[in-house]
Amino acid sequence: MYARQWLLGPAPRHAIPDEGMPPGTAYHLIHDELILDGSSRFNLATFCGTWMEPEAHKLMSETFDKNMIDKDEYPQTAELEMRCVHMLAQLWNSPDPEGTLGSSTIGSSEACMLGGLALKWRWREKMRKAGKPTDRPNLIMGTNTQVCWHKFVRYWDVEERCVTLEGNGFVMDPERAAALCDENTIGVIAVMGSTYTGDYEDVEALSAALDRLQEKTGLDIPIHVDGASGGFVAPFLHPNTRWDFRLPRVKSINASGHKYGLVFPGVGWIIWREASDLHPELIFHVDYLGGTMPTLAINFSRPASQVIAQYYNLIRLGKSGYRAIHQACQNVAVHLAEQIAALGPFELVSTGRDLPVFAWKLKENQHWSLYDLADRLRDRGWQVPAYRLPANRQETVIQRVVVRNGFTCDLADMLVKDIRRHLDWFASQPGLNAKLDSGQFHH
């Protein structure tokens, strides 16, 4: 293999080669290059699924050729998508799980665009009916929201009103969110599972704050819950937390099937509380099997295999299976967080008790930074990102671990051992200080 002419020089980089090569050669050339990516299982930065059962692999490879949008041609695939929509609507306590509307998407970002657009359309219709201007919509969110919401406001021409992180909190304060609302507010975004720390926002308190606002001012402000991760975690691990359609003010919820929905990247979900919460102008009608199928999406073509794999997970695991998997992740997260806190230099900023995700910061300045630790952890393949908190708290650098299905207690203990080894190395390198001063380790 490795004496073949195509492997004796560099891989084609900037132009399609004039002649092809045998499939096995092309396979090895690409496969070998990708070894440099490292193992996705050691990627503690990603929220996305990195392990699925062999049966799911089989189903997915049997359906790689199907396009989700071809609902006429693949009516059973469309049927499985709708079953997932109904199951999630039921999981999130919609008053009408079988009658409400929702869709699969390519991920939470697309789902958030659709959720935000529905808020904008709903608000615009209300304003038009009242004979008021519709040119200055605004959306309320915490600075800790994921980048998709900052994209939403820019792409769809909506004013962003951000609640900054104050005091020791790492999530949006409900009272301060309500205080930013006015008659041009299309909605408030609440995040179930902050991307920064894994903490839930208090959706029930936000809903109550907006109730009080309505009593005082008459403003009726809807909530969209970004449950990218928590939408698949809270129903199983925190069933008594009221964050979903049990709160009438929550009009739509998105989640990533490819995060704690346990599917490989490429599937998200958006569900409305009731069909009437989605403006009909946003729905396109596709005929199939003699009926009419309402669809809405930004993308047109999209892989069907991820949606099929989602249905597989839902029926294969059942609620008890999801609960068991997420509980196992949470046990590892809480255990690992405690171990890391006990090492000495670190202070936890979250504990893994909401999402199985936690983060820490340095208790005091050291002659090394969390960026240095992240760099050194790569020596055995661990990918544990360090980053700054958002606006107002940017001076705080944190490091975060996302515990996912397949990250065992044993692997967690090995991570702690490696962190301890690097702490010893830092301790033996007082000269690092001088390098730091000279800016050599500037981040």
Complex with ligand PLP: residue 60 or 423, whichever CB lies closer: 60
Find the binding residues for ligand PLP in span 353-372 (CB under 6 A).
none
Stretch of residues binding ligand PLP (CB under 6 A), selected from 103-111, 126-134, 380-388, 408-416: 103-111
Query: Contact at 8 Å (CB) between 153 and 139?
Result: yes
CA distance 328 to 317: 14
The DSSP H or E segment spanning 60 is helix 54-62
What DSSP string runs through 407-442? --HHHHHHHHHHHHHHHHHHHT-TTHHHHHHTTTT-
Nearest 10 degrees: Cα torsion 270, 272, 277, 278: 30
Complex with ligand PLP: residue 97 or 107, whichever CB lies closer: 107
Residue from 139, 162, 177, 228 in contact with ligand PLP (CB under 6 A): 228
Minimum CB distance to ligand PLP, residue 271 (Å): 15
Minimum CB distance to ligand PLP, residue 405 (Å): 16
Complex with ligand PLP: residue 107 or 174, whichever CB lies closer: 107
- Rule CB under 6 A: say whether 350 interacts with ligand PLP: no
CA distances from 382 to 38, 42, 240, 286, 423 (A): 9, 5, 35, 46, 15
- Rule CB under 6 A: say whether 107 interacts with ligand PLP: yes
CA distances from 100 to 94, 103, 380 (A): 8, 10, 48
Query: Contact at 8 Å (CB) between 169 and 201?
Result: no
- Rule CB under 6 A: say whether 256 interacts with ligand PLP: yes
**DSSP character for 168?**
T
Query: Contact at 8 Å (CB) between 150 and 112?
Result: no
Query: Contact at 8 Å (CB) between 425 and 380?
Result: no
Residue from 77, 229, 252, 305 in contact with ligand PLP (CB under 6 A): 229
- Binding-residue total with ligand PLP (CB under 6 A): 15
CA distance 238 to 250: 18
- Rule CB under 6 A: say whether 100 interacts with ligand PLP: no
Complex with ligand PLP: residue 63 or 146, whichever CB lies closer: 146
Minimum CB distance to ligand PLP, residue 227 (Å): 8
- Rule CB under 6 A: say whether 115 interacts with ligand PLP: no
Complex with ligand PLP: residue 191 or 293, whichever CB lies closer: 191
Q: Which residue has the tokens 């609620």?
A: 319
- Rule CB under 6 A: say whether 148 interacts with ligand PLP: yes
Minimum CB distance to ligand PLP, residue 189 (Å): 9
Query: Contact at 8 Å (CB) between 92 and 261?
Result: no
Complex with ligand PLP: residue 120 or 258, whichever CB lies closer: 258
Find the binding residues for ligand PLP in span 180-209 (CB under 6 A).
191, 193, 195
Q: What residues have CB less than 8 Å from 72, skipping those under 6 apart?
A: 286, 287, 288
- Rule CB under 6 A: say whether 44 interacts with ligand PLP: no
Minimum CB distance to ligand PLP, residue 229 (Å): 6
CA angle 34, 49, 384 (to 5 degrees): 70
- Rule CB under 6 A: say whether 142 interacts with ligand PLP: no
Minimum CB distance to ligand PLP, residue 5 (Å): 41
Residue 39 Cα to chain centre, angstroms: 20
Residue 196 Cα to chain centre, angstroms: 11
- Rule CB under 6 A: say whether 146 interacts with ligand PLP: yes
- Rule CB under 6 A: say whether 310 interacts with ligand PLP: no
Complex with ligand PLP: residue 202 or 372, whichever CB lies closer: 202
Complex with ligand PLP: residue 200 or 311, whichever CB lies closer: 200
Residue from 268, 303, 352, 356 in contact with ligand PLP (CB under 6 A): 268
CA distances from 392 to 142, 152, 174 (A): 11, 22, 17
Complex with ligand PLP: residue 302 or 422, whichever CB lies closer: 302
**CA-based nearest residue to 84, from 301, 303, 271, 294:** 271
Backbone angles phi, psi at 373, to 5 degrees: -65, -45
- Rule CB under 6 A: say whether 47 interacts with ligand PLP: yes
Stretch of residues binding ligand PLP (CB under 6 A), selected from 101-109, 131-139, 159-167, 173-181: 101-109
Stretch of residues binding ligand PLP (CB under 6 A), selected from 77-85, 105-113, 272-280, 302-310: 105-113
Residues that bind ligand PLP (CB under 6 A): 47, 107-109, 112, 146, 148, 191, 193, 195, 226, 228-229, 256, 268
